[in-house]
Structure 1
Amino acid sequence: MKLLMVEDNKSVSEMMAMFFQKEEWDVTYAYDGNEAVVVFKSDPESWDMITLDLNLPKKDGMQVAKEIREISKTVPILMLTARDSDSDQVLGFEMGADDYVTKPFSPITLIARIKALQRRSHMANGDDEDQNKNNGFDITTDHFKLNSNTHEAYLNDNLIPDLTPKEFDLLKTLAQKPRQVFSREQLLELVWDYEYYGDERTVDAHVKKLRQKVEKAGPQVIQTVWGVGYKFDDTEVK
């Protein structure tokens, strides 16, 4: 894996370097926001993962994430933040982050979260025999179709725009079982691939952003089942 770690605290980078070396990952370090954008732009297609500190000199992590997302909609971004408020986490997701880790964190935890995000990203872009049976789409209904290889989803043949990897995973998980209700806890386990220990704000923030993008393509198909969770239902779509 080729990873870009954006972190202004060099002691943190040096600590993580030992663990990255053990994993045999190819890691490049950037120490401020401007440097991070320049390094990423130098070869956007080469990066498999970005860990992005929120509090950076010259340009903060929110702006860096926004600029990276303008270049790449699919590169996974794991945000590192000392902040733990709802508004900061929601804003981070809206800027394009796929996951976050709150400081201070253990190196083992960060490695596990990177692997989980990488695993989900590979699954979203992996091959599937069923795709060949449906002209490349591994999920098809009367009004919806999704292709994991191209990372595209369509509603009434209109492309749902600018899906981040995690939004795509969430939509795919729901659409694979239309009308089945998923609790927030189930979605945390299925989409994020680990436990958030009851932090349901992550799911709600992603659903909110996903709905905004779905509505740009057609009628809303992500439904809330009050007191239970969320479901995909396009049976009422015309």
Structure 2
Amino acid sequence: MTEHPGPAAAPTILVVDDEPLIRDSIADRLRAEGFAVTTADDGPAALAAQQGTVFDAVVLDVMLPGMDGLEVCRRMQTHTTTPVLMLTARADETDLVIGLGIGADDYLSKPFSMRELVARLRALIRRAERYAPDATAGPPAPETEVETLGEVQIDHAARRVLVSGSPIHLTRTEFDLLVSLARRPGAVLTRAQLLESVWQWPDAGETRTVDSHIRSLRQKVGAHHIRTVHGVGYALEVVR
């Protein structure tokens, strides 16, 4: 007799937005797409919700009353690696770079399409599952794959980066972006190639996401390590 596995558990999403119409609209669409959704209308409520539940992803508005979304994200990332998708109505790139730098994995600018929101969340969850430890695999092998490209050293097994011998804290997305560039040092990768490699998006329509993450990555590893070819893309420069 063959046993068939039961249905997979629905991905759990925390939606944080102080505007009821937006919050409820997102929650309704995600539930219709098969997600299990918890909502919060401010930062303290979001942090309280996270204390009792391990979410698969968080949709977090930047503009929250009292404790803004950037501070909420920073606090969340001190004790969890849950992917965070930030929503912003601001055109100021500084907010985006700060948000990505403190641990947000992606962002959407308002107004946005629900279809794109769902696609972004599914991509974030797939990436998080790819790096989740396998409980049946046993302890990791002692060997560590370390790649040295001039001043930049990438420890793939530990997902750790050193620049000129000093450790650099990178978010999951920043690390994946650096690794994608490091696969072909000196070669220019287009934004479309990076979107597909890092975010698994075959549609290259949202290239601004790549630019924002590159800005954040540059601040951490040093601007001279990443070359911009305007209108084309980016390359990792091997600086010795």
Please confirm whether the aligned pair reaches a TM-score higher than 0.5, indicating the same fold: yes
- In structure 2, the CA distance between the partners of 1:8 and 1:196, relative to structure 1 (3 Å rule), is farther
3-state SS of 1:179 partner: coil
TM-score norm. by structure 1 comes to: 0.75
**Equivalent residue for 2:236?**
232
**Structure 2 letter corresponding to 1:27:** V
1:159 maps onto 2:159 in alignment: no
1:111 maps onto 2:114 in alignment: no
**Equivalent residue for 1:62?**
70
Q: How far, CA to CA, are the matches of 1:116 and 1:57 in structure 2?
A: 29
- Structure 2: tracts of 5 or more residues without a match: 1-10, 135-139
**Equivalent residue for 2:226?**
223
Q: How far, CA to CA, are the matches of 1:155 and 1:168 in structure 2?
A: 13
1:140 maps onto 2:170 in alignment: no
3-state SS of 1:83 partner: coil
- In structure 2, the CA distance between the partners of 1:7 and 1:198, relative to structure 1 (3 Å rule), is closer
Q: Deviations over 1:123-175 (max 9, x none)?
A: 45578xxxx899243x6346633325x433345665332x1121111012112
- Shift in Å, 1:50: 0.9
TM-score norm. by structure 2 comes to: 0.75
- 1:186 pairs, out of 161, 182, 193, with 193
Contact 2:227-2:236 at 8 Å conserved across structures:
no
**Equivalent residue for 2:4?**
none
- 1:35 pairs, out of 45, 49, 65, with 45
**Equivalent residue for 1:89?**
96
Q: How far, CA to CA, are the matches of 1:182 and 1:23 in structure 2?
A: 33
Comparing both structures, which one devotes a greater share of its residues to helix?
Answer: 1
- 2:108 pairs, out of 101, 112, 118, with 101
Q: Deviations over 1:71-124 (max 9, x none)?
A: 33x321101122234333333323432211122333222111111222233345
**Equivalent residue for 2:22?**
12
Q: How far, CA to CA, are the matches of 1:106 and 1:203 in structure 2?
A: 19
- Structure 1: tracts of 5 or more residues without a match: none
1:211 maps onto 2:232 in alignment: no
CA RMSD of aligned residues (A): 3.1
- In structure 2, the CA distance between the partners of 1:142 and 1:231, relative to structure 1 (3 Å rule), is closer
Q: How many residues align?
A: 221
Contact 2:191-2:204 at 8 Å conserved across structures:
no
- Whichever of the two has the greater Rg, that structure is 2
- In structure 2, the CA distance between the partners of 1:229 and 1:133, relative to structure 1 (3 Å rule), is farther
